Amino acid sequence: MHTHCYRREAGFSLIELMVAMVITLVVMGLASTLLAGAFKARSREDRKSDGIADVQRALNSMTREISNSGFRLPSGLAGVSSNGLVTGDTNTQSVRIISNLNGMPDPANPTVSDTVVTDPDEDVKYLMYVDDAQRYIVRYDKNAATKTTVLANRIDSLVIRYFDQKVTYNTTVDAVTGFSDITSVSRAEVSPDAARYLVIAVGVTLPAVGTPGVEGYQPPSRVQLTSDVVLRNAIAY
């Protein structure tokens, strides 16, 4: 005679399954919340980087071209100072520069060189343009086919200061208007025709992200960017 022994197979009860499902849903919910927060933070940083990158590119362009001001400057140019700045069209919110970029002698005929500034990039003005309460950094090229180029369109202020030599300074940003400038400057300013060193300050507002009172909201913030420019054809350090 054979005896059969039946053993109960192991498994989960309905209650155990429900508890496991609840725990899984809670964990997934927490993970989703954390992931959404990470995406919002990434979005904020991307918008911040984009806003600053536009102004940085504009400042790089301005610094490069302004430093060439006065290069091989032809004589007899009305209204142009020896440093290449057009003083009647230059102030704290705009700067116009003249440079004879094509003025190098011709290698085939060293006695002949370009003595006019009628080529593109040789007569350039940078300024802040205000339109419908929006402010832009604009590059105007008098000799180019396309004369006007917008370099940055999310700025609050553009300030240009003129000095006869290198200076040290602090920066300041108005928390309400975003107006940016330099303070505690080590030397007094000079008129543009006597300038050999420029400091350009740009104020930028990074817009708010999200809705106030809602998780992930990021209020607007103010940022200042500055650039020091040596007029290398007017001074040597």
Closest CA to 122 of 104, 140, 143: 143
Tens of pLDDT, residue by residue over 96-135, are 999 998 877 666 766 556 778 999 999 999 999 988 778 8
Classify strands 180-183 and 170-173 as parallel, antiparallel or unpaired: antiparallel
Provide the domain limits for residue 87: 33-230
For the stretch 165-221, pLDDT in tens is 999 999 998 878 888 999 999 999 999 999 999 999 999 877 776 777 776 677 777
In this structure, is residue 3 part of a structural domain?
no
Q: Is the dihedral of CA 225, 66, 152, 180 positive or negative?
A: positive
In a domain, 39, yes or no: yes
Report the domain count for the chain. Answer: 1
Q: Is residue 75 part of a domain?
A: yes
Q: Would residue 24 count as lying in a domain?
A: no
Whole-structure pTM value: 0.75
Assigned domain for 4 exists: no
| Torsion on CA atoms 109, 110, 111, 112, rounded to nearest 10 | 60
Give the model's pLDDT for residue 237. 46
What is the per-residue pLDDT across 142-172, written as a single tens digit (0 to 9) for each? 999 999 999 988 888 999 999 999 999 999 9
119 close to 95: Cβ distance less than 8 angstroms? no
Indicate whether 37 belongs to any domain. yes
In a domain, 158, yes or no: yes
